[in-house]
């Protein structure tokens, strides 16, 4: 239960195998069309079970049937699911690109349906950043302020979401260590280019840890990395040791 809760909070797929509930199996096996009588709450419950079980492909097949839904809760989950499918090693480069753009559209639609949904803001920011990988560094930097604004809005709507706080920390870290040529690009795009510091990044990583202690191996890693950037080897060792000893539940945990 604890592992499932953590995975749902941070948006990371569990790599451990598990079984499917009968209702979820009925929905995803051989039903190409969704009947009008389905209940959104039931689909969400089944989707969250599949997500926590690491059933990435089955989850996508369940949710993509609802791509024309007007429900923001379904749509942001579809955005996340599309992104997760794109990240699988078995997904071809062509399909990965399509899924990446699809995920942004689903997140955008979720926002249009409910601007007050914190997860829609969170996943719009994540998916917009992903699309930037295909459109070049100029677009990626140009979208940076929009991405941060959506993360900040997500935190306003849900101040306890540690993952979004962590993502702002990553944003700050990225700008703090931005190489000179990217800073030059940023200067051409903005009258006042976005900047940050490692101290600011550190503050967000600590805020994320305070919101939900030990919630994410990558937050522990970046606490260590940021302390290294600030030449505090004692604190860096503390947090890097925590990251090393973190129970590896996902591929990302193992990489950390």
Asked, for residue 88, whether it belongs to a domain, the answer is yes
Flag whether the pTM goes above 0.85.
no
- Specify if 107 maps to a domain: yes
Total domain count, the chain: 1
Residue 61 domain-assigned (yes or no): yes
Q: What is the pLDDT of residues 182-213, one digit of tens each?
A: 888 888 888 888 889 999 999 999 999 999 99
Q: Are 242 and 209 a contacting pair, CB within 8 Å?
A: no
| Residue 144 located in a structural domain | no
Whichever domain contains 61, its CATH number is 1.25.40
Residue 90 placed within a domain = yes
Domain assignment of residue 102, yes or no: yes
Query: Quick check: is 69 in a domain?
Result: yes
Domain of 51 in residue numbering reads as: 34-117
pLDDT in tens, 67-117: 999 999 999 999 999 999 998 888 999 999 999 999 999 999 999 999 999
pLDDT band at 23 (very low <50, low <70, confident <90, very high): very low
DSSP string covering 158-227, please? -TT-HHHHHHHHHHHHHHHT--HHHHHHHHHH-SS-----HHHHHHHHHHHHHHSTT--HHHHHHHHHHH
Written as six digits, the tokens of 4 are 């499932």
Q: Is residue 86 part of a domain?
A: yes
């Amino acid at each position: 239960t604890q592992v499932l809760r953590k995975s749902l909070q941070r948006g990371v797929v569990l790599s451990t195998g598990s079984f499917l509930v009968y209702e979820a199996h009925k929905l995803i096996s051989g039903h190409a069309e969704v009947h009008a009588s389905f209940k959104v709450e039931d689909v969400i419950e089944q989707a969250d079970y599949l997500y926590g079980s690491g059933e990435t492909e089955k989850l996508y097949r369940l949710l993509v049937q609802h791509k024309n839904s007007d429900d923001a809760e379904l749509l942001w989950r579809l955005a996340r699911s599309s992104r997760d499918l794109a990240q699988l090693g078995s997904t071809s480069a062509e399909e990965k690109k399509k899924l990446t753009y699809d995920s942004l559209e689903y997140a955008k639609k979720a926002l249009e349906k409910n601007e007050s949904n914190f997860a829609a803001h969170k996943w719009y920011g994540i998916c917009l950043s992903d699309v930037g990988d295909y459109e070049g560094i100029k677009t990626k930097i140009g979208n940076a302020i929009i991405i941060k604004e959506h993360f900040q809005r997500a935190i306003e709507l849900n101040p306890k979401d540690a993952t979004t706080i962590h993502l702002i920390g990553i944003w700050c870290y990225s700008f703090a260590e931005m190489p000179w040529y990217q800073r030059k690009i940023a200067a051409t795009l903005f009258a006042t280019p976005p900047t940050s510091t490692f101290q600011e990044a550190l503050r967000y990583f600590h805020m994320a840890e305070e919101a939900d202690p030990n919630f994410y191996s990558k937050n522990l890693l970046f606490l260590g990395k940021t302390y290294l950037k600030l030449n505090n080897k004692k604190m860096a060792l503390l947090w890097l040791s925590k990251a090393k000893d973190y129970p590896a539940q996902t591929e990302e945990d193992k990489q950390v």
